[in-house]
Amino acid sequence: MRKKKVGAIAIKSFAMLVVFGTACQAMAQDAKTTYPSMAPIEQYLMPDQGSEIALARSASPDSISRDAEVLVLGRHGFETAVKGKNGFVCIVERSWTSAADPDFWNPKVRTPICYNAAAARSVLLRNTKRTNLILAGRTQAQVDEAIFAAVDKKELSAMGPGAMCYMMSKQGYGGDSVEHWPSHLMFFYSQTDPATWGAGLPGSPILAMSDDHEHVTTFAIGVQRWSDGTEAR
């Protein structure tokens, strides 16, 4: 199942990692019927920019997100709504970059993420490019092909040292497969053996997923609290 199983680079959320395999596969048939193609663009947009900014910022503690750049989705792609000053970039990603395959076109998906500067230069650029292509009417296969080619030509950066993001929002909607992600952090590396981090082994607090096409390995670590400081378990 080529890239579909791995999905876009942002499809590496903790929850997705958790449900990968059984849950996704079990629901795939129904979900494909439910969201067979892109919905009208309006369904992916948030009518109130203030709400989208607030949701984006909820991905990390206020101490980080209040000084972050914030992107919001427009009809042609993500646009800067708030200029930042600490290098972090917060965004509410949509289904085509941040949901399991069955929810690829689910217009209800809203995934708040705050990327640090290193991840904003690598991971986020891939996701915004993917979004631009999707909104321009490309198919999922065409988008994959374009992204893989850009990665191979090094038009899209490899993962830089220390690339990571926060996904600690109490809000958002991960999709019908997984309605809400657990609070977690993600770390991005250029193709690394997950065993190097002990990821996915019994008892390990680290999960990982490798994307052979985009040459990225993502590690996810659950954390104890939501971004507002309340306990998450």
Q: How far is the CB of 125 from other proteins (least distance, A)?
A: 18
Residue 17 or 109: which CB sits closer to other proteins?
17
Residue 157 contacts other proteins per CB under 8 A: no
Residue 233 contacts other proteins per CB under 8 A: yes
Q: Which residues pair with 181 in a beta bridge?
A: none
Alpha helices in 68-210 (DSSP H): 95-98, 117-120, 123-135, 140-152
Given 18, 25, 61, 107, the residue binding other proteins (CB under 8 A): 61
CA 81 to CA 91: how far, in whole Å?
10
Given 62, 152, 155, 212, the residue binding other proteins (CB under 8 A): 62
Enter the tokens of residue 63.
Answer: 């101490």
Residue 196 contacts other proteins per CB under 8 A: yes
Antiparallel, parallel or unpaired: β 206-211 and 69-74: unpaired
Residue 166 contacts other proteins per CB under 8 A: yes
Given 22, 33, 37, 63, the residue binding other proteins (CB under 8 A): 63
Residue 91 or 143: which CB sits closer to other proteins?
91
CA 156 to CA 159: how far, in whole Å?
9
Residue 139 contacts other proteins per CB under 8 A: no
Tell me the residue type at 64.
I
Binding part of the chain for other proteins, among 2-10, 104-112, 141-149, 158-166 by CB under 8 A, reads 158-166
Q: Which residue has the tokens 């019908």?
A: 176
Q: Which residue has the tokens 């209800």?
A: 108
Tell me, by CB under 8 A, how many residues bind other proteins.
Answer: 41
Residue 117 contacts other proteins per CB under 8 A: yes
Residue 202 contacts other proteins per CB under 8 A: yes
- Annotate each residue in 72-91 with x if it binds other proteins (CB under 8 A) or - if it does not, as one string: --------------xxx---
- Selection from 173, 176, 177 nearest residue 24 by Cα: 177
Residue 116 contacts other proteins per CB under 8 A: yes
CA 22 to CA 81: how far, in whole Å?
39
111 CB-side CA count, 13 A: 35
Please give the helix or strand (H or E) that residue 113 lies within, else none: strand 111-115
Residue 50 or 205: which CB sits closer to other proteins?
205
- Selection from 147, 43, 32 nearest residue 100 by Cα: 32
**Which residues make up the interface to other proteins (CB under 8 A)?**
60-64, 86-88, 114, 116-118, 161-162, 164, 166, 168, 185, 187, 189, 192, 195-198, 201-206, 221-225, 227-229, 231, 233
